[in-house]
Amino acid sequence: MHDANESKPPRRPRSGPVGFLCALLAASTAVAAPVTFDFDSGLPLLQVYATLPVDQTSGGVTAHFQPGEASVFSVQDTASLFSGLVLSPFSGKFLVPGDANTNGVGGLLEIRFSQLVSSIEFPFATIQVPPIETETPITLDAYSGSLSLPPVGVTNVAGIYGGLGGHDTWPTGLLRFRSPTPFNRVRIYIPTLQAPPPGGQATDFLIDSVTVDPAGGATCSIAGAPSPAGGGEIIGEGGYSVGVDATLLAQPHLGYVFKGWYENGNLIATNNPYSFVAREDRVLTALLAPVSYLLKVGSSPAAGGSVTPSGVMSVPAGSRVKLNASPAPGFLLVGWRQGAGLLSATNRVGSAPTLQFTPDANLTVIAEFARGASLTLSANPPEGGELDGGGLYLPGAPVTVSARPSPGFRFAGWSDATGTLTAASDTFTWSLSGAASLVGRFAPMLTLSQEASQGLSVTWPRATPDYVLLEAATPDAPQWVPVQASPSLVGGARQVIVFPDGGARYFRLGNGTP
């Protein structure tokens, strides 16, 4: 049902005065010149790998090339097919079965002309699949109007190896068909004439330079225009013979949707494509409305964080959306999910705090948050070194911590809140299941040097007031005793000068740290 409030395209005047239905009179006896569609010079210009359907207009006649059931055709040239291809009757661009990604799916091609024609001819090649040795025929059925009616004529011909060029890659030939009954549609195909031999019968063909003889008679101009102008393209415009079927197809650009066909400001059809019998000059306008998608954005749980922007919003098709997730204190972003349900590999659409995408449908996007597990790191003594890896983590996530001793210290291990040694390496990884704390233990190192007074200088870092210098006669002595001399503060170190008494003496620092 048409909405009276729906925006209408601007009214365009009917071309031609009342009473003159066509550009040419039916009684005209002038002989029209042949028209050729070579896929190089027609309009619009076609790019290599353009996939059918396509329209080509030449000499005032429009030809609509449409692949048949389960077929794919595209516009290519010898360079785009493969190196060394020889097709002497072909030039420039031509129609090839398949496209840039597929091959061998071009068994049926339909061509619809905007005007009645009396003849058609074109060079062709059939793709032979070994071990086929007999050239495969190509068949053409010609129709006047509907394909449901019997054809006005049928012909077939087989190409031959070397028939036109001498050294062609596949069999080539020239198909010609002329009918006393004008026609405007043809179906070109390779029939299955017999059981295929091992390896299969050739079922694909290539054609170029389709030439037709317009039958003459009255023609009408059928024009189409998208509204707005940048909303899409119209296929099927051109001059049509009076009494033949004309078909206009509106192809909306990204972000637009077809709403209806208008003529002189009035809605006349909502189907697309729109077919009708050409009887007079007509100008039809396709109304193309901008598309927008409904986007719902939120967070789960609600207390876990916020998303900017959030809520329900309308997003024009083709627009880029940027969402930013901000976790609440004590929470972390787990990831973004699309739709309802728990976050999983199948609905996860991102894990970074910023998510950017272009909607192509109505969407629900949720930022999933989870309460984090805190890891607290402390150094003992604080001056002994630096620790990395503390912070907030998702429960169960792997966590790596590392320690870097300060000058004069060595790393002595990691201990938990109870003082139990958990790891000796300065770097280690484990799975954090909940809140935890680790102490990175550092021990001062002794430095020995000979003094000018023949004494021995023993120094260690100054920031160790709880450490005492111990000595023993052997390194494995069961008991170590404190050195009698009191340490002095020299620069950034504690120093004791000891004098050898003729025997070996061993020193270490003690405060319960080995």
Domain C-terminal end among 444, 465, 486 = 444
Under a CB-based contact definition with an 8 Å cutoff, are residues 270 and 6 in contact? no
Q: Which residues neighbour 314 within 8 Å (Cβ) at sequence distance 6 or greater? A: 292, 293, 294, 295
**Nearest Cα residue to 213 out of 61, 26, 38, 29:** 61
Residues 152 and 235 in one domain: no
Structural domain containing residue 464: 447-510
**Nearest Cα residue to 295 out of 360, 349, 364:** 364
**The pair of three-digit structure tokens given for residue 161, joined into one six-digit string:** 């190896």
Helix (H) or strand (E) holding 80: helix 78-81
**The pair of three-digit structure tokens given for residue 199, joined into one six-digit string:** 């390896």
Residue 4 lies in a domain: no
Three-state secondary structure along 229-283? HHHEEEECCEEEECCCEEEEEEEECCCEEEEEEEECCEEEECCCCEEEECCCCEE
- Which tens digit of pLDDT belongs to each residue from 439-480? 999 988 888 887 766 678 888 887 777 788 888 888 888 888
Degrees to nearest 5, angle at CA 393 with 389 and 396? 110
- Which tens digit of pLDDT belongs to each residue from 332-383? 999 999 876 665 666 777 889 999 988 888 889 999 999 999 999 999 888 8
Distance between CA atoms of residues 148 and 187, nearest Å = 12
Residue 3 lies in a domain: no
Cα 325 to chain centroid, rounded = 24
Q: How many domains does the chain have?
A: 5
Residues 366 and 313 in one domain: yes
Residues 204 and 62 in one domain: yes
Under a CB-based contact definition with an 8 Å cutoff, are residues 224 and 285 in contact? yes
What pTM, to 2 d.p., does this model score? 0.50
Residue 9 lies in a domain: no
Residue 384 lies in a domain: yes
Q: Is the pLDDT of residue 177 over 60?
A: yes
Residue 492: pLDDT band with limits 50, 70, 90: confident
Q: Which residues neighbour 376 within 8 Å (Cβ) at sequence distance 6 or greater? A: 390, 436, 437, 438
Q: Is the pLDDT of residue 4 over 50?
A: no
Fill in the amino acid letter for 146: S
The average confidence (pLDDT) of the chain is 83
Distance between CA atoms of residues 438 and 425, nearest Å = 13
Residues 430 and 490 in one domain: no
Residues 45 and 75 in one domain: yes
Residue 301 lies in a domain: yes
Distance between CA atoms of residues 235 and 56, nearest Å = 10
Domain C-terminal end among 253, 272, 290 = 290
Residues 176 and 269 in one domain: no
Residue 6 lies in a domain: no
Torsion sign (Cα): 159, 161, 163, 166: positive
Fill in the amino acid letter for 38: D
Helix (H, G, I), strand (E, B) or coil at 39: coil
- Which tens digit of pLDDT belongs to each residue from 298-310? 999 999 999 999 9
Distance between CA atoms of residues 203 and 187, nearest Å = 14
* Per-residue confidence (pLDDT) for residue 25, from 0 to 100: 34
* Per-residue confidence (pLDDT) for residue 426, from 0 to 100: 93
In degrees and rounded to multiples of 5, residue 142 shows phi and psi of -110, 140
Residue 7 lies in a domain: no
Residues 109 and 137 in one domain: yes
